[in-house]
Amino acid sequence: MNKRTINGISLNPIGLGCMNLSHAYGKPPTEEDASRLLLEAVDLGVEHFDTAALYGFGKNEVLVGKALKPVRDKIFLASKCGMTGVDGKRVIDGRPKALRATIEQSLTNLQTDVLDLYYLHRWDRKVPIEESVGELSRMVEEGKIKSIGLSEVSAKTLQRAHTEHKIAALQTEYSLWTRNAEIAVLDACKALGTSFVAFSPLARGFLTEQVTDPSILVDGDIRKGMPRFQHPHFEKNKALLNVVREISNQANCSLAQVNLAWLLHQGDNIHPIPGTTQTTHLRDNLGAIDVNLTHEQLSTLDNAFVPEAINGKRYPLVTQQEIDTEEF
């Protein structure tokens, strides 16, 4: 595998987003099945595992911590603060006091003394970014975290934060279906030496045809509230998949592998973290590392998925107002 680095640490290029093992897409797998998948990921060469205090309101960190404790020295462990569950509700709070409380709980949940990467999950606009990052920098000094990341922020906010402390990684959604990062953030990351971590690189199942009709989504699935998974946007977007199928046939690989290979071709500082609850999908995703798309195939995908061809916003209005990313 061609290694990629975060904070100077060499990692296999595809990591694992752990959110859906506890959160967001309907009924999660059992603890036994989720733990089995996490350990199989390690056996298959996954090193980068991504969780957050928000996911399952702490349950995901507990799951990941328990399952991966025996192999803690073999993995790169990332979590997030600044957005947590309080009295059953999602709360964005970037005050130093809140971040301090979250790191202590996260270390306990994850059964570790130090995290390799700790993100500010959302920028709390009531708190200057420098103040939140300043508290994270004190955690670095204290040895509780090794590096700092930001999630869902603009290039301008990244640059402001970087003046306070080196930002090792920026995480936001990036796929053929969501290319907002190409407006400014990717260039800002390259200029600052910041790694880019791409979540939802398979568009929450859309790009792999795991979701063929929005009616199959169950109650509690966050996609039900996302405009792109609603009528009429979903039907209009489905036509784009014809191009992915064509490239899949040409390259003799799966739809997932086409999408992840395209993403890996966008820069050697990009780290996709697809999530899955199924070991067959896990193995398939990792196979993308060996897929080499031609220049012509990459151009075909680029041209088919231009931003103006995508129907619907990626988030509902309330959520969209909470994030700081540039939008087409």
Model confidence pLDDT, tens digit, residues 28-79: 999 999 999 999 999 999 999 999 999 999 999 999 999 999 999 999 999 9
Whether residue 219 lies inside any domain: the answer is: no
Q: Averaged over 242-265, what is the pLDDT? A: 98
Q: Taking the CB of residue 27, how many other CB atoms lie within 10 A of it?
A: 10
Whether residue 323 lies inside any domain: the answer is: no
Helix, coil or strand: residue 173: strand
**pLDDT for 1:** 56
Confidence of residue 26 (pLDDT cuts 50, 70, 90): confident
Whether residue 163 lies inside any domain: the answer is: yes
DSSP 59: H
Q: E strand or H helix at 134, and its extent?
A: helix 129-141
Per DSSP (E only), the strands in 30-129 are 48-50, 76-81, 83-86, 89-92, 117-120
| Domain assignment of residue 281, given as a range | 4-204+263-291
Number of structural domains (the chain) is 1
Residue 7 has pLDDT above 90, yes or no: yes
Whether residue 165 lies inside any domain: the answer is: yes
| CB-based contacts of 184-191 (< 8 A; 24+ apart in sequence) | 184/154, 184/155, 184/326, 185/153, 185/154, 185/155, 185/158, 185/325, 185/326, 186/266, 186/267, 187/155, 188/155, 188/158, 188/159, 189/158, 189/269, 190/267, 190/269
Percent of the chain clearing pLDDT 70 (strictly above): 100
Model confidence pLDDT, tens digit, residues 147-177: 999 999 999 999 999 999 999 999 999 999 9
Nearest 5°: phi and psi at 305? -105, 35
Q: Averaged over 300-311, what is the pLDDT? A: 97
Tokens (6 digits) for 288: 């993308």
Q: How far apart are CA 87 and CA 167, in angstroms?
A: 31
Mean pLDDT, the chain, as a whole number?
97
Strands 195-199 and 270-272: parallel
CATH of the domain at 63: 3.20.20.100
Q: How far apart are CA 316 and CA 10, in angstroms?
A: 36
Residues labelled as active-site residues = 55
Helix, coil or strand: residue 96: helix
Whether residue 227 lies inside any domain: the answer is: no
- The pTM of this model reads 0.97
Q: How far apart are CA 328 and CA 180, in angstroms?
A: 6
Residue 208 has pLDDT above 70, yes or no: yes
**pLDDT for 236:** 95
Whether residue 34 lies inside any domain: the answer is: yes
Whether residue 44 lies inside any domain: the answer is: yes
Strands 169-173 and 48-50: unpaired
Percent of the chain clearing pLDDT 90 (strictly above): 98
**pLDDT for 38:** 98
Q: E strand or H helix at 68, and its extent?
A: helix 59-68
Residue 88 has pLDDT above 90, yes or no: no
Q: Averaged over 86-99, what is the pLDDT? A: 95
Q: How far apart are CA 147 and CA 167, in angstroms?
A: 7
Residue 2 has pLDDT above 90, yes or no: no
Whether residue 54 lies inside any domain: the answer is: yes
